[in-house]
Amino acid sequence: MGKVRVLTERKGCYRWAAVILAAAWPLACVPKVAAQGPLAAAETPSDDHSKFLLHALKAMREGRLYDAVEAYRRAYAGADTDAERAAALLGEGDAWAALEQYGQAAEAYAQAARLRGAADHQRLRAWLGAAKSAAAAGNTKLVVEASEWLASSGDATEADRAAALARLAEMRFEEGDLSGAEALWRRLTDEFSSYPAARTARQRLADIFLARGDMEALRKLLAAARGAGQPDAEGLHVYAAT
């Protein structure tokens, strides 16, 4: 009984260690793709989530990215909880992104984000990955879904929320929804005035107010920027005066 208990405890620690490693794995550390083939029988671990997850991490470190995708999928199949499934899907998304297969990456990230039992930090990382990969893949619908979640999330940083609002505003503008874009640019300047996305928003709003002849709205915009000591305030004044 003592031996069985020790093995069970070790297996539990092993499983959670694998989940934590996968959630924290930095995409920037992924090496270039190495020569690879199907998983060899000799190096295939047992049909267990944690072992396949660790196999996938090893494959990522070695640049065997297609092997990593396969191992992450096997880890997903062997998962017992949504947190474990999310760990596998996040890893698969990272592998596809490293391969510049952004459509597959976006779908893997989005699937992780939609898991009801995913941890908050997993959902945040998943929507961030989905937004970036979907934009690279030209998946407008998914970019909107991810950006809307990020813009309203209390877990996202202010910088991420500002960037999400900026993406949504530009997409509204490109679709011809000027009023929708203007509302989002106003929100950017009000709530995130010190972020780079807000500088672009102030420029867009200045153009709108000038074209509309709404000099009172323009005056308030310029005064707010100057009063807050924004670095683009003087440039906006010069631009508006020309």
Rounded CA separation 191/144 (Å)? 20
Average pLDDT over residues 9-23: 45
pLDDT of residue 16: 45
Judge whether residue 174 has pLDDT over 50: yes
Q: What is the pLDDT of residue 190?
A: 93
| The predicted structure's pLDDT at residue 47 | 61
Please tell me the predicted confidence (pLDDT) of residue 36. Answer: 53
- What integer pLDDT is reported at residue 25 of this predicted model? 44
Q: What is the pLDDT of residue 229?
A: 85
- List, for residues 115-158, the tens digit of each pLDDT value: 999 999 999 999 999 999 999 999 999 999 999 999 999 999 99
Write down the pLDDT at residue 227: 85
- Give the pLDDT confidence of 73-126 residue by residue, as tens digits: 999 999 999 999 999 999 999 999 999 999 999 999 999 999 999 999 999 999
Q: What pLDDT, in 10s, does the model give residues 199-225? A: 999 999 999 999 999 999 999 998 888
Domains of the chain: 1-139 (1.25.40), 157-242 (1.25.40)
Which pLDDT belongs to residue 241?
A: 75
pLDDT at 226: 87
With CA atoms as reference, report the closest residue to 128 among 164, 152, 97, 95. 164
pLDDT tens-digit series, residues 53-74:
999 999 999 999 999 999 999 9
H, E, C per residue of the chain:
CHHHHHHHHHHHHHHHHHHHHHHHCCHHHCCCCCCCCCCCHHHCCCCCHHHHHHHHHHHHHCCCHHHHHHHHHHHHHCCCCHHHHHHHHHHHHHHHHHCCCHHHHHHHHHHHHCCCCCCHHHHHHHHHHHHHHHHHHCCHHHHHHHHHHHHHCCCCCHHHHHHHHHHHHHHHHHCCCHHHHHHHHHHHHHHCCCCHHHHHHHHHHHHHHHHHCCHHHHHHHHHHHHHCCCCCHHHHHHHHHC
